C-alpha cells in the first residue's frame, strides 16, 4: 500500500491522530483536510518541522481532490461533545456534516478504507455506510477500541499487571449502553471471575466500579480539560497501522451487524478481523445470558436513534 493517509478535521482529535501517526511513523504521507484551510496549513507546517527528529513523512494541507490514491481516510470532523452532553445528542449535527463529506470521498477516494472517529461513532458509521457507494466493510468506526483500552488499563492497575497482558473487551455501543464482557476477561489465560490473580481476589463490587469509571471516562475528562483527544489519537494510529500492514488483527471496531445477537441494519462493536480490506471477518464471543441481553439492548438503543433519522433529507 502507498501509506497515504488523510485526516478530515483538524480539531483536537484530528491533530492528536496526526501526531500519533507521524510520531509512530505509521503513514508515509499525511494529508490534512479542514474547511478552515489556514488551520490545516498551520497544523501541517508545525508537524512537518519534526521530521528531522522522527524521520521523513511529508505532511501537508489538502483539498478533496488530493485524496486520490489514499489508502486510509480518517473522519475526525464534526461538532465536539460538550460538558454534560452525551454522545447521542451529537447525532443530528454531525450527521449533517457527514452527508457532505460522503459525496466528496466517494468521488475522490473511492478505494480508501474509511475510519470514522467522530461521535456518536456507531451511528455515524452506519449513516456513512448508507450514504456512501463503497462497500460497507470498507467503512468502520473506532467503536469501543478506546473503551477496551481504558478497561485493560484500569484492570492492569487493579491487578498490578501490565495492561498488555490483560485480555478483556468492552463491546456494543461506544457510549452509555456499552457492555463489559466479564465472562471472557482473562489474565494469563485465567478468567477473572472467581479467581485470585497476583494476590488480588475477584471482587465484583470493586470491578463494577472500575467498569463504571471506564464507561464514564469521557465525561470525567471533558469536565476537566474540555475534550478527549490523546488516547483516541493513539487508537486511530493503531487501527491505521492494522489496515496498512494488512495485519488481520482482531479489534473491537464498530461495523455492520447482520443477525448477530438478533441485530441488523446498524453498527456496533464486536471483535472483528481487520486488514487491508477493512472488516474482513468476525470472531464472535460467547457471552453469558446477561451479557447477551445487554448487547441486544445496546443495539436496540442505537437502532431507535437511527429509526428517527431522515437520510433522504441528508442526501438532499
Say if residue 304 carries a ligand binding annotation: no
The span from the CA of 72 to the CA of 220, in Å, is 31
Say if residue 228 carries a ligand binding annotation: yes
Say if residue 142 carries a ligand binding annotation: yes
Question: Is residue 275 classed as helix, strand or coil in its secondary structure?
Answer: strand
Say if residue 271 carries a ligand binding annotation: no
Say if residue 87 carries a ligand binding annotation: yes
Say if residue 14 carries a ligand binding annotation: yes
Say if residue 249 carries a ligand binding annotation: no
The span from the CA of 116 to the CA of 254, in Å, is 9
Out of 108, 158, 174, 305, which one is annotated catalytic?
174
Say if residue 176 carries a ligand binding annotation: no
| Phi, then psi, of 19 in degrees rounded to 5 | -65, -45
Say if residue 253 carries a ligand binding annotation: no
Is residue 305 annotated as part of the catalytic site, yes or no?
Answer: no
Say if residue 315 carries a ligand binding annotation: no
Question: Is residue 76 classed as helix, strand or coil in its secondary structure?
Answer: coil
Contacts with 121 (C-beta within 8 Å, 6 or more apart), sequence order: 87, 141, 142, 143, 174, 254
What cell was used for 186? Answer: 482473562
CA-based nearest residue to 10, from 76, 104, 63: 76
Q: What is the DSSP letter of 172?
A: B
Query: How many residues make up the chain in this entry?
Result: 316
Active-site residue set: 174
Known binding positions: 9-14, 34, 39, 78-79, 81, 87, 94, 117-122, 142, 147-150, 152, 167, 228
Known binding positions for beta-D-fructose 1,6-bisphosphate: 152, 167
Known binding positions for NAD(+): 9-14, 34, 39, 78-79, 94, 117-119, 142
Amino acid at each position: 500500500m502507498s501509506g497515504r493517509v488523510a485526516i478530515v478535521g483538524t480539531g483536537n482529535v484530528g491533530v492528536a491522530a496526526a501526531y500519533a501517526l507521524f510520531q509512530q511513523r505509521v503513514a508515509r504521507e499525511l494529508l490534512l483536510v479542514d474547511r478552515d484551510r489556514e488551520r490545516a496549513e498551520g497544523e501541517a507546517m508545525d508537524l512537518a518541522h519534526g521530521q528531522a527528529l522522527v524521520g521523513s513523512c511529508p505532511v501537508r494541507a489538502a483539498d478533496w481532490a488530493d485524496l486520490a490514491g489514499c489508502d486510509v481516510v480518517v473522519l475526525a470532523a464534526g461538532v465536539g461533545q460538550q460538558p454534560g452532553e452525551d454522545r447521542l445528542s451529537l447525532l443530528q449535527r454531525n450527521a449533517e456534516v457527514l452527508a457532505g463529506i460522503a459525496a466528496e470521498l466517494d468521488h475522490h477516494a473511492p478505494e480508501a478504507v474509511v475510519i470514522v472517529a467522530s461521535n456518536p461513532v456507531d451511528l455515524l458509521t452506519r449513516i456513512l455506510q448508507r450514504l456512501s457507494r463503497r462497500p460497507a466493510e470498507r467503512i468502520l468506526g473506532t467503536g469501543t477500541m478506546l473503551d477496551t483500552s481504558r478497561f485493560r488499563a484500569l484492570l492492569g492497575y487493579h491487578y498490578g499487571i501490565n495492561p498488555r497482558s490483560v485480555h478483556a473487551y468492552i463491546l456494543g455501543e461506544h457510549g452509555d449502553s456499552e457492555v463489559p464482557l466479564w465472562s471472557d476477561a482473562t489474565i494469563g489465560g485465567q478468567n477473572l471471575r472467581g479467581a485470585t490473580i497476583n494476590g488480588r481476589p475477584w471482587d465484583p463490587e470493586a470491578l463494577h466500579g472500575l467498569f463504571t469509571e471506564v464507561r464514564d471516562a469521557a465525561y470525567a475528562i471533558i469536565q476537566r480539560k474540555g475534550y478527549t483527544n490523546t488516547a483516541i489519537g493513539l487508537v486511530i494510529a493503531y487501527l491505521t497501522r492494522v489496515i496498512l500492514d494488512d495485519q488481520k488483527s482482531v479489534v473491537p471496531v464498530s461495523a455492520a451487524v447482520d443477525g448477530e445477537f438478533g441485530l441488523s441494519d446498524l453498527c456496533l462493536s464486536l471483535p472483528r478481523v481487520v486488514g487491508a480490506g477493512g472488516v474482513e471477518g468476525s470472531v464472535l464471543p460467547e457471552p453469558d445470558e446477561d451479557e447477551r441481553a445487554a448487547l441486544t439492548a445496546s443495539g436496540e438503543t442505537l437502532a431507535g436513534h437511527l429509526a428517527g433519522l431522515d437520510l433522504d433529507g441528508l442526501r438532499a
